[in-house]
Amino acid sequence: MIKKAASIHDLSGVGRCSLTVIIPVLSVMGVEVCPVPTAILSTHTGGFGEVEMRDLTDYTLPALSHYKRLGMEFDCIYSGFLASVEQVDHCLEFFRTYPSAFKVVDPVMADNGKPYRTCGEELRRRMKDLAAAADVITPNTTEAAMLLGLDPGYMPSSHSDVKSMLSRLSSIGPKTVVITSVYTGTECYNAGYDSVTGKYWLVPFNRVSANYPGTGDIFAAVLTGALLDGDPLPLAMNRASAFLEYSIKTTYAMGTPTREGICFEKCLGFLSEDRSLYDYEVL
């Protein structure tokens, strides 16, 4: 059976983030994406100047009502970039309506130590309520620090710092926590914690000297697809990290402007291959 994922994210026309990467990634992994757009933007907000944006806050709940009238079921509810504080409540309403769905929250708020300009203080505060109701959250290090009430620029400097962040985030509510893009001086890795098994995991990756928007969206989408397919957490993290390393290195070699995002289109075949992965470590 093909699983259905209600995917609550923005649709940005240019720059390869949110729905424009989530839909192809999950589709190639055999998941049906049912988009619930939170906003429409001409481009993402990271490098194209003033964007045209339409907030779709008045759309989310009516769409949910329609799905309820239809008796529509979803296997997964997956949220990301939200355009308003009200949309936190709308996502929570989706969660309440589908209690047995697998709930993934990518708490899109910030990167590189700085909040996105569309994400105000109240939304940043309420994102914690949404994270609390999730099964899995996928913050980057900046978002992880913000969810824990730390300075957004905080960067953990040892494995024990990272493990402490992971377990404190899990105690907010989610059973599984993955922190992406941890850089501790010499190491780069994605770190995960499964509170059911009590195990911590690390997947190292090779960094290039460029930062592409949409990286976190691709990571969370591959992780979601892999977990829905039954992968254990370290293999799901491994699949997401390996796909990003492959597609980022392909993009870097092409030399395209970073604001255009990761040129992942010709790399998508990687996700439909049944290759074995073994690059994870115990954290």
Q: Which residues bind ligand PXL (CB under 6 A)?
A: 10, 12, 17-18, 41, 44-46, 81, 108, 116, 213-214, 216-217
- Give the residue with the Cβ less far from ligand PXL, 80 or 234: 80
Of 41 and 240, CB closest to ligand PXL? 41
Q: Closest separation between CB of residue 82 and ligand PXL, Å?
A: 10
Q: How far is the CB of 234 from ligand PXL (least distance, A)?
A: 24
Residue 208 DSSP one-character state:
-
- Give me the least distance between CB of 273 and ligand PXL, in Å please: 26
Q: What is the largest CA-CA distance in the chain?
A: 54
237-240, long-range: CB within 8 Å, 24+ apart, which pairs?
237/178, 237/190, 237/192, 237/201, 237/203, 237/280, 238/203, 238/277, 238/278, 238/279, 238/280, 239/271, 239/277, 240/190
Minimum CB–partner distance for residue 69 and ligand PXL (Å): 30
Q: How many residues does the chain have?
A: 283
In the bound state with ligand PXL, the residue whose beta carbon lies nearer, of 46 and 192, is 46
* Burial (Cβ within 10 Å: 0-12, 13-18, ≥19) of residue 224: buried
Q: Which is nearer to ligand PXL, 82 or 271 (CB)?
A: 82
Of 180 and 241, nearer to ligand PXL (C-beta) is 180
Question: CB 218 → ligand PXL: shortest distance, Å?
Answer: 9
Q: Measured on CA atoms in the order 239, 240, 241, 247, is the torsion positive or negative? A: positive
For residue 89, give the amino acid letter.
D
